[in-house]
Amino acid sequence: MKIKKILCPVDFSGSSNLAVEYAKELTLLLNSRLYLLHVVEQLHGNEHYMILQITPQEIAEKVKKEAEEGLNSIAKKIKNLPEIKTEVREGKAFVEIVKTARKDDIDLIIMGSHGRTGLSHSLIGSVAERVARKAHCPVLIVKDKDTKFEMP
Express each pLDDT in 37-77 by its tens digit. 999 987 555 544 445 567 777 888 888 999 999 999 999 98
Taking 50 as the pLDDT cut, the residues of the chain under it are: 47-50, 117-124
What pLDDT, on a 0 to 100 scale, did the predictor assign at position 56?
A: 73
Query: Which pLDDT value is given to residue 152?
Result: 60
pLDDT at 1: 78
Separation between Cα atoms, residue 150 and residue 152, nearest integer Å: 6
CATH of 5-125+135-143, one of 3.50.50.60, 3.40.50.620, 3.40.50.850, 3.40.50.2300: 3.40.50.620
Residue 59: predicted pLDDT: 82
To which H or E segment does residue 119 belong?
helix 118-124
The predicted structure's pLDDT at residue 57:
77
Query: Domain ranges in the chain?
Result: 5-125+135-143
Burial label for 104, CB within 10 Å (0-12, 13-18, 19+), is middle
